Structure 1
Amino acid sequence: MAAVEYRTQGHVAILTINRPEARNAVNGDVARGIEEGIDRLEDDTDLWLGVITGVPPVFCAGADLKEINAGNGASLSTKKGGFGGITKRDRTKPIIAAVDGPALAGGTEVVLSCDLVVASTTATFGIPEVKRSLVAGAGGLFRLGRKIPFNVAMECALTGDPITAERAYGFGLVNELVEPGTALEAALKLAGRIEANAPVAVRASRKVVLEATHASDEVGWSLSDAGMAEAVSSEDFKEGLTAFIEKRPPNWTGR
């Protein structure tokens, strides 16, 4: 059985970490599976966004410490994607994290690599590496403070203690908080709201938000202009206007 299961639903790719016996910890198979899944998402013009989840009751417990202890730590990263095949990945299409249960250490860093987060009330988030004489080296130490208040991120980094899904939702790390067992279902509904929009415009908008939010206005204007130029030069641009005038849902091609 694959360590990462891959399936599609409409224009959405769904990647599921499938190592429940190891709390969905990242080993080499998981890292390669996530990278390969993102490759398929990026390369398939009929796929517009993705969802990543884990077989409950845990989203992902982070790095497989048995692999690290055995000297196989390098296998937990890929050349293109970094840790878990995702934390350093350069990509164009949105990915939603659907979190049912704990997402700790590298699991939180996988979540922080995604664009949106849907979590059930059983979820927890944290970077407990200091408890094992490690540091959160896959982006957690600088990405967490971009998502939640600085002092709370510092608290997480120095104590290693997790925060609840409710607290994470209050800070804005989690977009939607749902009942246990329904995170994937809710994430797919959120994906449907994105899927209803023009794919080229979605990708261009994502790029501007990521690259310009913490940049100067000059950079923001430049990226926004480039994003607009990309959107209006797409095949879907005319379809969006025509559908509006004809009062019907648009039929996007993604081109």
Structure 2
Amino acid sequence: MPMDYFVWLIKDDTGQEWIVDTGFEQDDAQSRERTLLRTAAEGLGLLGVNPDKVTDVIMTHFHYDHAGGVRQFPNATFHAQDQEISFATGRDMTRKAYSHAFNVRHVQELVGRVFDQRVAFHNGDVELAPGLSLHLIGGHTRGLQVVRVDTGHGVVVLASDASHYWANMDEGRPFPIIDDLSKMVEGWETLRRLAGPEGVIIPGHDPLVFERFPASSQDLKGIAVRVD
């Protein structure tokens, strides 16, 4: 099944920018036989974002395809759940069933940011700014968090890997990389509650995103979409 990889830009009326996840780089593309079209920094550059000036990056979790571009944002603070940091540096990483989706370099880079006072630790749900909140789901990884945004036109929930595809939650078919199946299934209900009856849930890797939402501009058709 085709799989797309997304990095998200949230921008408020004051110009404050929040990046959600950091994608991966060429080393992981080669070792994992993935196609890298552009890095997070390159893609965001097409939207006028200077990675050196990004102040806040939300890490939904630390798998290689979400945490692979940490070094592209040298001046950012990274928002992560306590449970995810403990998970990625704890005893479960001695087991290949867990560690295979992580890249030790990425985890080391994030630990380095801890010592640089550039990680904001969150223990559960938190509001980062008016209309922007993080919600601990777990399931896929121990500390997976999703992002809820009230755009002023409606609610958007960036589900990340709480649901890789719309079909996972709509058809009750979990994606087969799981830390806790019960939390994953409960997480689908949480996504629906966070979105509400009129809100939109965006899955983590579904190519249908490009069919269901308009391009951010004509020049970026097939590259970037608006979901607000």
Say whether the fold is shared (TM-score over 0.5).
Answer: no
Which of these two proteins has the greater Rg computed from alpha carbons? 1
Which structure has greater helix proportion?
1
TM-score, normalised relative to structure 2: 0.31
